[in-house]
Structure 1
Amino acid sequence: MCVAAPAFVASPRDGQLRGLRAEGFYGHDRRLLHTACLVIDGREPEPIGVQPLGPDQVRFTSVRRYQGDPTDDPTLIVERVRTAGGGERILLRNVGTRTRRLHVQLALATDLADISEVKRGHRGKAVPCTAAPDGGGLDWQASNGRTEVRAGDGDLTPEVTDGPEGGTFTWPRVLLRPGESRQLGLTVTGGAMPAPPGHPDAPRSRAPWTEPEVKGDRRLVELVRRGLGDLRALRLADPERTDPDGPEDQFIAAGCPWYLTLFGRDSIWSARMMLPLGTDLARGTLWALARRQGTAHDLFREEAPGRILHELRPADAEHGHGLRLPSRYYGSVDATPLFVTLLVEAWHWGLPDPDVDALLPYAERAMRWVVETCDEDEDGFLRYLPRAEGLLHQSWKDSEDAVRDATGRRIEPPLALCEVQGYAYQAATGLADLLSARGHHERAKKLHTWADSLRKRFADAFWLPSPGGPARRYVAIAVGRDLAPVSGPASNMGQLLSTGILDDEGCRTVAAWLTSAELNSGWGLRSRSAALPGFNPLSYHGGSVWTHDTAIAIQGLCAAGCHNEAYQLADGLLDAATHFGYRMPELYGGDSRTAGSPAPLAYPAACRPQGWSAASGMALLSALLGLRPDARDRTFRAVPTPPGLLGPLSVSGLKLSGHPLKVAMDGTGEVRVEGLSDGWRDAGRG
């Protein structure tokens, strides 16, 4: 997979695109090519290797052998360098002792399928193609999309054949003397028809974060490095700007291949995790979502005033099994409170006052939706009840069987998920602090009062007894009608730790569960307890490990002072990263790690790279160093894990209130903070 959002290319390991599964060139959710099959002198080359050259580029190497050669060694080497959003270069190298006159053909075809159709395993009918009038290209055009492929490098102009099933470029006489090489070039362009107006596109400016230098555990260093590279490839930019001459508003697409677009919760979480490297990404994400904040009641979109977007697509799409989603869809219960918290945390990290003040009305409208939705609920919780043909479950665990009880029975909405109540509480208390700092004390007091009431209701409704568990009770994944709690331990409770909705004893109880054998696989945090019926280590949400979910739990454990438990999960996650080349998949198998057990396996349809998985390295780094800025009194604290767990750790290139910052912990646990700007002070570890 190589990515340069909104484009990507999915290829098999031999580089030959044959129209199978999800392979092909893509742009803006449209498959531009599904077939690009190379034949030299009547045969396909033999694949011998594949090498990623960066997030957006990969090289495939193959060879061609010929009868009559003096040795069994291959005499023709073929290198195909494929670039997302570009095309490919085919380099032919004669490493033999004889002159070769090659007959090279490249067959091309497409169905111009929407990504939703590809995800369902569908391959559409072949779209007929036509030769360009100048003879240097092939064109496909249908009512939903278009593709143009141009070929040509130097004087090697191909012969072009078109037809109803696709087209072929043929170079009939490529002369290569011993030691010579020739390069053939292709460019692939296209997209949806008509092009969606105002839709995000590839950014034109650099990534909106600093480049850190991390020293310490090699696994963490590599996870951060690879993650930042993937995040650069996943960037998109809103074509609108708050100031025509101002910076682009960039954000992180959710993941490749299925969600290469603006996703409320995913883009927000990625921006939250990246705040230690500056507030520009948070700013862009907030503005991209604020411009699309709900303004009216629309049943099909599930839009409501103040509600934050769930996902943005170029067009409405059928996803199968009765699921039909509009291009602009608001069916998410968590994106709205998370939007508020992103603004609050960006404020703490030094988002400039003009941006904070301009975005504050959007946050207040979002918080009003949260409060009013809770007030309309008979139990006072933030609950979801989807429309027909919409997403059944509307938080990050959104698969059809995402919520099951301890017997394995599926539980249907309406549901109030535990972590969503934590998000709402955190949004309310954080926004109250921001409003108070702006002098709006009455509005702040009302939010604090509302949040205190929600916290009490939560404590009364969500705890379930567990006499035989690692702790005497646990937090239910959700409560349904009549406050019926959904039994069975799940990872959701880990996302409560940093929200403030739990007291100290509750945090210690959750910590015991997260590191128990039921939830800690040894490679990361399972989404569902392995002791429950229906546990499946390779299900979407029924036992697999999600990278971001584990990272968020580690952040919460560190914030709660549960450093030993945090290190257990962090060490497992970092070990898992070594088996994935530090490009963490969206999710992977939750099988137990034992002596001699196989490496963890990626979920077959997992996004990789994926936004919040790629940002999880920075989340771990920030959590393990305990970075805690507070804009109210302009203080900065670093409360790291004990040095005996992870060892010395330092990072330069952090950014607080626009100024570079370095934080280092030595082998004795001594912490040094350098670069605090005027007006900020180091509050130590207190």
Structure 2
Amino acid sequence: MADTDIPELPGPPRARALQPLLHDVVICVAAPAFAASPRDGQLRGARADGFYDHDRRLLHTLRLLIDRREPEPVGVQPLGPDRARFTSVHRYPGEGTDDPTLIVERVRTAGGGETVLLRNVGTVARRLRVELAAATDLADIADVKRGLTGKAVAPSVARTGRPALLWRSPAGHARVRAVECPEPPETSAGPTGGTFTWPRIELPPGDSWLIRLAVTGRAVPDPPGHPVAASPRVPWSEPVVHGDRRLIGLVRQGLADLRALRLADRSGHGTAPSDDQFIAAGCPWYLTLFGRDSIWSARMLLPLGTELARGTLWTLARRQGTVHDDFREEAPGRILHELRPAESQHGHGLLLPAHYYGSVDATPLFVSLLVDAWRWGLPAADVDALLPYAERAMDWIVGTSGSDEDGLLRYYPRPGGLLHQSWKDSADAVRDAAGRRIEPPLALCEVQGYAYEAAKGLADLLDARGATGRAQVLRAWAAALRDRFADAFWIDSKEGPAPRYVAIAVGRGLDPVGGPASNMGQLLATGILDREGCADVAAWLAAPELNSGWGLRSRSAAVPGFNPLSYHGGSVWTHDTAIAVQGLCAAGLHTEAAALADGLLDAAVHFSYRMPELYAGDARTDNSPAPLAYPAACRPQGWSAASGVAVLAALLGLRPDAPRRELRLCPSPPGLLGPLAVSGLRLAGADLSVRIDRGGRTTVTGLPEGWRVGTGAGQGAGAGSGTGADAGPDHPG
């Protein structure tokens, strides 16, 4: 880390600012805006407090005083993903009762502002002085994430219109305006903030007093072509689930959070709509387009329709790499990793451009999303229009692996960029069996699986379009990669649930990185493992050193370096567990899948079904407390919110193949997690219902005209792939 990158704080020499913790922060989100609040609702300019829009903090202080005192907090209630109500009381020490007689309710709304309601529930009239102090630093979210609070920006008082405070800096502008109040406030501004004051409010018994504030603003300059708030129209169906109450709650809350995380790309052309929607990675740190995260969210939601996948694909296709640029790590065909309004310093020596391509996995995942969407019935016009982008992405994959000495898909980060470039991207994400950090260049196991799946799937798509020669070349390349993988990645184990496991990565010279990790769970649905390999991986995933009882640990608890609250060194990631469940179900390993799914669903109950990005990997015992969220985890987070639908689809065993008009069903036995019925699924534009009764009998209703359905294992292994057998539109399996 460069010396200039260590923010100085008061205290011991070389003290460094720390990332704000979020475990007790109330987050309201309506992408691209959000509000982060302590549980009492008072914004005091600390930690991540504030109203935000497009990665810019508009306001970090909004402090309410009544009679020059802060009200006493009594509770907070979520009113939806975008708003929350903070309730407090104002008491009078000189009175002969402990009952509160003045109730204060603040409703804070992301992208809007807040209301303050005072209710006199006592028997005497009240004369009140009410003040709202506001301030901001107009900081970039990257600086907030680093634990920095910028210098206060001096406000000014609006001279016309409704009472308002205004802030301007070279980086942004903000305004707080009183849009509704019984009488205008006294408005004042100083060098560090401004205040709205109502010096004499008369509040009779049983009466109330309400003010409404609007908080608006933006980054400066407004980045051209940057995603914006999505239209109210949601690009997926709303399923109705009957069965396990935990699964019902996880799906319902997840879809509500995903609605709030939607963003839209309005630069459409050709066959793409003007409002191409996608899912932002997570709030508060990653409320923007992330190639990998947005793709996984769209893949997981394919059982609810292909429109989100289409919007995600087009948004990324328009930003596909076209040139070689070392700073952006851009290359022709490469898919974007991260989009920000401006270049930003992320700490620890990490300087990233607004358009950053430093991921090794987004590109093969892009190809597989198109293939999966094609199998789920994406309209042919979109498939054909997006196919050239997928072919260019595949060219990057093949070319990058071809330039590697071992023929694997490795990453070679630039100085100042992300050190690790797959989903485990923290600086210590890759450790060996002795707990030592392993540096790149590295070929990660799951990335080889992604590349194999992309090549096989694209070959099928090209075959369907008559490009058989290109398809044969890709299948041969995939077969060679599968052979190289089998030779390089397996590690023998004298102790453990199976005689071998898959290395998290191999370094130069094909040296495998030892120590069981969750990465191998993401291989199960890619097809790169044979049946015996799937069984060995499943045994490790189900063993207590990786299965915490609440979900899949990112690193084995039995090796040095395990830390249950490490970002990637022992914590449980919601999406990682869900992907492993998908893969286990796809491989027919339902007992192991049910064990992981059951732990994940139990964890969901403790998180009120709003799953954090990751949570502690402590072992579950009969007397263990509820799982703890990682203290700085995003919540809501895109692929965590989508994981409920992923688990639902995995348990149903849905394997569609729109080109053949076949739906194959490979459901989990109902004895593992109970019977299940779902309506409101979408397949090739049709409404689909699936029911699995207590005896294991499967009934499908609403198949598109001309489709067939069958049960049993299919040829495809991907998250949305497979082939089917014969049936009519209403068919019991």
Residue in structure 1 matching 2:146, options 89, 98, 120: 120
* Superposed counterparts of 1:409-420, under 5 Å: 409-420=436-447
Distance 1:107 1:243 in 2: 50
Q: Does 1:39 align with 2:40?
A: no
Distance 1:484 1:649 in 2: 45
Distance 2:426 2:617 in 1: 17
Q: Does 1:595 align with 2:618?
A: no
Distance 2:285 2:217 in 1: 18
Q: CA deviation at 1:247?
A: 4.8
Residue in structure 2 matching 1:29, options 17, 30, 55: 55
Q: Does 1:91 align with 2:117?
A: yes
TM-score by length of 2: 0.93
Q: Determine helix, strand or coil for the equivalent of 2:358.
A: coil
Does the CA contact (< 8 Å) of 2:266 and 2:274 recur in 1?
Answer: no
What is aligned with 1:499? 526
Distance 2:183 2:226 in 1: 37
Distance 2:489 2:711 in 1: 36
Identity among equivalent pairs (%): 73
What is aligned with 2:239? 212
Distance 2:166 2:665 in 1: 58
Q: Determine helix, strand or coil for the equivalent of 1:276.
A: coil
Q: Deviations over 1:326-369 (max 9, x none)?
A: 00000000000000000000000000000000000000000000
- Stretch moving more, 197-206 or 362-371: 197-206
Q: How many residues matched? A: 686
Q: Determine helix, strand or coil for the equivalent of 2:581.
A: helix
What is aligned with 1:57? 83
Residue in structure 2 matching 1:105, options 116, 120, 131: 131
Distance 2:173 2:222 in 1: 10
Distance 1:418 1:631 in 2: 30
Q: CA deviation at 1:244?
A: 9.4
Q: CA deviation at 1:423?
A: 0.1
Q: Does 1:469 align with 2:503?
A: no
Residue in structure 2 matching 1:289, options 298, 310, 316: 316
Q: Does 1:320 align with 2:356?
A: no
Q: Does 1:628 align with 2:662?
A: no
Q: CA deviation at 1:65?
A: 0.8
Q: Deviations over 1:190-212 (max 9, x none)?
A: 11101111100101231100000
What is aligned with 2:167? 140
Q: Deviations over 1:532-578 (max 9, x none)?
A: 00100000000000000000000000000000000000000000001
Does the CA contact (< 8 Å) of 2:446 and 2:519 recur in 1?
Answer: yes
Does the CA contact (< 8 Å) of 2:272 and 2:314 recur in 1?
Answer: no
Distance 1:89 1:292 in 2: 40
Residue in structure 2 matching 1:371, options 377, 393, 398: 398
Does the CA contact (< 8 Å) of 1:205 and 1:248 recur in 2?
Answer: no
Residue in structure 2 matching 1:195, options 209, 222, 246: 222
Q: Deviations over 1:633-680 (max 9, x none)?
A: 210012111011111101100000001000110000000011011121
What is aligned with 1:656? 683
Residue in structure 2 matching 1:436, options 463, 468, 487: 463
Distance 1:124 1:484 in 2: 46
Distance 1:333 1:528 in 2: 21
Residue in structure 2 matching 1:8, options 13, 29, 34: 34
Residue in structure 2 matching 1:150, options 177, 180, 190: 177
TM-score by length of 1: 0.99
Does the CA contact (< 8 Å) of 1:152 and 1:158 recur in 2?
Answer: no
Does the CA contact (< 8 Å) of 2:271 and 2:382 recur in 1?
Answer: no
Q: CA deviation at 1:393?
A: 0.2
Structure 1, unmatched stretches of 5+, are none
Residue in structure 2 matching 1:20, options 31, 46, 53: 46
Does the CA contact (< 8 Å) of 2:504 and 2:513 recur in 1?
Answer: yes
Q: Deviations over 1:422-455 (max 9, x none)?
A: 0000000000000001111001000000000000
Q: Determine helix, strand or coil for the equivalent of 2:34.
A: strand
Q: Determine helix, strand or coil for the equivalent of 2:497.
A: coil
Q: Deviations over 1:26-75 (max 9, x none)?
A: 10001111100000011110000100000000000000011443422111
Structure 2, unmatched stretches of 5+, are 1-26, 714-733
* Superposed counterparts of 1:515-534, under 5 Å: 515-534=542-561
Distance 1:193 1:474 in 2: 51
Residue in structure 1 matching 2:600, options 561, 573, 579: 573
Does the CA contact (< 8 Å) of 2:104 and 2:116 recur in 1?
Answer: yes
Distance 2:711 2:484 in 1: 35
Distance 1:302 1:598 in 2: 44
Distance 2:546 2:95 in 1: 60
Distance 2:360 2:200 in 1: 61
Residue in structure 2 matching 1:183, options 210, 220, 229: 210
Equivalent position amino acid for 2:261 in 1: L
Equivalent position amino acid for 1:269 in 2: W
Residue in structure 2 matching 1:615, options 642, 646, 651: 642
Distance 1:113 1:663, change over 3 A: same
Does the CA contact (< 8 Å) of 1:156 and 1:184 recur in 2?
Answer: no
Q: CA deviation at 1:391?
A: 0.2
